[in-house]
Structure 1
């Protein structure tokens, strides 16, 4: 038996670790996305307290009666008279920076390792969140846009780096379960942001939410740099048994491989991933950026109820994504379905059904319970997406998964950049009829993009990857 070559302290910490390190890395990735999305999404709630409320009357058409509240706060009275278009620009400005740094982040993660790319990205995001109140105080909407662009630039490398990290730590036969759990941090972060933002905005000044979310993210950074490494071989605490297991199932990637740009970008599978990402992101970003505004402006929930009611659909999506991850792995392991068909089928379900429920919700009028139920069903049925298209960059090219994720997720950010502004243009009066067209547009974009992925998408290792033709992992 080969001797344990780890340093003595590494052997000791390995014995003290109750979980396999690939599970620890996955959990830290999950928490990374929670932090990223609390930083990102909290502004969708904060902006409802920054802006002077519209002068609504009971005779306004297309809006609902306001919800009665027993407590009125004086510290949360709106200050800024920003139009719907300006609010859309503020929310969408995040994606200007987000788009720019995706590709550099993916390349750095593939070539230099994912640990520090991911860690530094979250640290800068945390600082941007914590300094947002100062930017608002001195720069108003322009200061807020500037700090949101910086935050977006910081978060751009997160998905590419996380994909690279998982491709080194998670074997294919565990990918749907662990990968989906990790990526479900997006939805969990949205849930936490919605609930906590609503409660903090109700009880405290709006700046408290930004300070809290920024501070927690800094704590995550400190734990992450202590607990995680870019690959199993670099972790001093990994147990020999787990190291052997991962070496058998995840062949070592070659160092500093030249990126096959031409072959990659001319691939139909790559085009399908990009289009499906843009389609999904359009529907999802409309929900995370604009649903709090719909709840506040049209259904007229109180700020506390808004946070709770907005969180229910995302909580349902989080639960659904976890269940679908287990289901996908079981279907693949049992031979009932191929990886390729599973990825396509789950992507189609995660686009068509949510789009339909989104539209139906807009026809439920002022029946607030029914509207929340339909929005909840919409995002519950979007859960399969994370066990579908979101995993295909790792399937298509383990050697360049970070770069592929950078390209697809980066281009998908165009949806986040333009959707809040377009929604603002489409809803100048923030009425129910105007919003109905927003949801119809979302349905069309979701379905068309999913059909393209069904036709051209692929979970097979692509010919430009050095491992093409090798036996599949697991």
Structure 2
């Protein structure tokens, strides 16, 4: 969301002064080079934890690692407006790198979840459907964020998405289990089917 928000924060808007004069203002007039550094900084963290995310998912449980990664991503998104308002670019870049570190564990850890829930013959289809949500969000997010900025202000982009992330985390942590055996809502038939078809067995 910072990628979209930074663009909107640099969009000029009109402000009417007390004397009736209309002037054009920009929320944050960051140079393009600074913006490129801020945007790209999260990818350094993202790349750094790819292998770690898979290892943690296998050792600690993919659903837990995925949930924690998303929760901390939402947390750092929540503090982003305060960091931006400080005007300290290096601090903003540091927060983005740390945020990227937590984002980096999400993809490999969710694969660890699917490896215990999706039989090999169904895995490719289910993973594709699950990952399509990120592409759908890429299409839907820009107009929604633009509407939020116009109606509430740029900082609410971070507040709203962070709150949604925390709500999602609470549901995920409560509902999703690492293994079928740990899910109290799974039927006997479903559990039997998964045990017979999963290549990793009931581990």
TM-score by length of 1: 0.39
Paired position in structure 1 for 2:21: none
1:201 and 2:149 correspond: yes
More displaced stretch, 73-82 vs 137-146: 73-82
Matched-pair contact (CA < 8 Å) for 1:51–1:81: yes
Query: C-alpha displacement at 1:227, in angstroms?
Result: 0.5
Residues 86-105 of structure 1: matches in 2 within 5 Å?
86-105=34-53
Secondary structure of 2:37's match?
helix
1:111 and 2:70 correspond: no
Residue number among 160, 163, 176 corresponding to 1:212 in the alignment: 160
* 1:176-220 Cα deviation digits (max 9, x unpaired): 331111011111221232121111112221001110001000000
| Distance in 2, Cα, partners of 1:254 & 1:243 | 9
Residue number among 97, 107, 112 corresponding to 1:164 in the alignment: 112
Matched-pair contact (CA < 8 Å) for 1:117–1:161: yes
Tell me the matched-pair count: 196
Matched-pair contact (CA < 8 Å) for 1:50–1:77: no
| Distance in 2, Cα, partners of 1:74 & 1:176 | 52
Residues 438-449 of structure 1: matches in 2 within 5 Å?
none
- Segments of 5+ residues of structure 1 without an aligned counterpart are 1-41, 54-71, 256-474
Residue number among 9, 29, 33 corresponding to 1:81 in the alignment: 29
| Distance in 2, Cα, partners of 1:121 & 1:152 | 9
Matched-pair contact (CA < 8 Å) for 1:122–1:217: yes
Residue number among 172, 176, 189 corresponding to 2:124 in the alignment: 176
Paired position in structure 1 for 2:190: 242
Matched-pair contact (CA < 8 Å) for 1:102–1:157: yes
Residue number among 179, 185, 191 corresponding to 1:231 in the alignment: 179
Query: C-alpha displacement at 1:250, in angstroms?
Result: 0.3
1:45 and 2:4 correspond: yes
Secondary structure of 1:81's match?
coil
Matched-pair contact (CA < 8 Å) for 2:120–2:199: no
Secondary structure of 1:48's match?
helix
Matched-pair contact (CA < 8 Å) for 1:49–1:78: no
Residues 311-322 of structure 1: matches in 2 within 5 Å?
none
Secondary structure of 2:49's match?
helix
Matched-pair contact (CA < 8 Å) for 1:94–1:148: yes
Do the aligned partners of residues 135 and 107 (structure 1) sit closer, same or farther apart at CA in structure 2, a change above 3 Å counting?
same
Do the aligned partners of residues 254 and 236 (structure 1) sit closer, same or farther apart at CA in structure 2, a change above 3 Å counting?
closer
**Aligned Cα RMSD in Å?**
2.2
Matched-pair contact (CA < 8 Å) for 2:119–2:199: no
Query: C-alpha displacement at 1:254, in angstroms?
Result: 9.0
Query: C-alpha displacement at 1:175, in angstroms?
Result: 2.2
Matched-pair contact (CA < 8 Å) for 1:49–1:77: no
Do the aligned partners of residues 74 and 44 (structure 1) sit closer, same or farther apart at CA in structure 2, a change above 3 Å counting?
farther
| Distance in 1, Cα, partners of 2:15 & 2:191 | 58
| Distance in 2, Cα, partners of 1:117 & 1:45 | 27
| Distance in 2, Cα, partners of 1:155 & 1:203 | 29
| Distance in 2, Cα, partners of 1:169 & 1:73 | 53
Query: C-alpha displacement at 1:52, in angstroms?
Result: 6.8
Query: C-alpha displacement at 1:82, in angstroms?
Result: 2.4
Do the aligned partners of residues 52 and 220 (structure 1) sit closer, same or farther apart at CA in structure 2, a change above 3 Å counting?
closer
Residues 415-434 of structure 1: matches in 2 within 5 Å?
none
Look at both structures and tell me which one has the larger radius of gyration over its CA atoms.
Answer: 1
- Segments of 5+ residues of structure 2 without an aligned counterpart are 17-23
